[in-house]
Amino acid sequence: MRVLLLAALLVPQDEELARLVKEQRPEKLNLQKPPEGHPSEHSAVMDGAVFLFHRYAWPPRAEKPLGTVFSTNAQPRFDGELEWSVAGIRDDRNIGFETCDLHSPGLVFMAVLPPLPCTVTLKGTRRWYCDVPVTFKDPVEGATRRIGKFTLTVRWPAILVTSEEAVAEHLTSKILPGWLISPTLKAGVERQPHQREPLVPRKGVASETPRNPAWCGCPGKPTRGERPPAPTTKEWKVASIYEAKEPVENIDSISLRFRYPVEETFEVMSPPLK
């Protein structure tokens, strides 16, 4: 483990981070609260979420259906993300199925009508965020703190976040939002006026109902090979929305709440689907 010069100002390291994760997990995943409503006969409960499963013939109401669609829908009960895939479908044997790059794993298709009840097995990752308090006292440009695989560096009026592993760009704003960085001015320093940027409304895009939809809803046939990989990064800056005009010399301390991403693998199986 790397030794920092200012030992008295160390933020939680590996052991302390593990303690915070253990303490916060039950509350973050709402483990003390049972799911609301009555459990469905088509549902499966796991830590932090309820999965709903369904099967129906495709096309619906057709005299001679072409196959069976299985739907999987997650109802998260926590602040975070669920990513999963359909690992298998079986009745008294494993049954092959087709996927769509846009609509799976929510929908998958098999070109048969299994007469027996089927179970669907999902495998995936549950990601929640552990709150880690960090304080830079008498901050100077370039001061650093380490939290697990992340390093935080003062680049005022921003905090530079560096990760040992690639992070999906869409997660960076969840790990450290700018509004969670709170500087405190030194005594006697007058606050500079702050002006917010005007909000520009975004125009919506009208959606069209595809003609001759496939089992997944795509026009004609399921989408193949058109989903680009999510962009990733190992370094990004997060600007504070407070005291951004002040030089670091006028800052007495910078307090922030770093939301450390905790990723857990899971496997869940549906009840028999008729």
205-218 pLDDT, tens digit per residue, is 555 555 688 999 99
Q: pLDDT band at 10, cuts 50/70/90?
A: very low
The answer to whether 69 and 58 are in contact (CB under 8 A) is yes
Total structural domains within the chain: 1
DSSP one-letter code for 186: P
CA distance 127 to 130: 10
47 in a structural domain = yes
Q: How far is residue 163's CA from residue 171's CA, in Å, rounded to a whole number?
A: 12
Q: Which domain holds residue 49?
A: 43-126
Whether residue 148 is contained in a domain is answered as no
* Residue 119 within a domain: yes
Asked whether residue 57 is domain-assigned, the answer is yes
Nearest to 270 by CA among 38, 48, 51, 36: 51
Question: Looking at residues 49-57, what average pLDDT do you find?
Answer: 96
Question: Does a structural domain hold residue 77?
Answer: yes
Q: What is the mean pLDDT of residues 267-272?
A: 96
For 21-37, what is the mean pLDDT? 88
Helix (H) or strand (E) run with residue 263 in it: strand 251-269
Within-domain flag for 34: no
Q: Residue 6: which pLDDT band, with cuts at 50, 70 and 90? A: very low
pLDDT at 89 over 50: yes
Would residue 73 count as lying in a domain?
Answer: yes
Distance CA 134, CA 183 (A): 12
The predicted model gives 54-74 an average pLDDT of 94
Specify if 15 maps to a domain.
no
Is residue 240 within 8 Å of 157, Cβ to Cβ?
yes
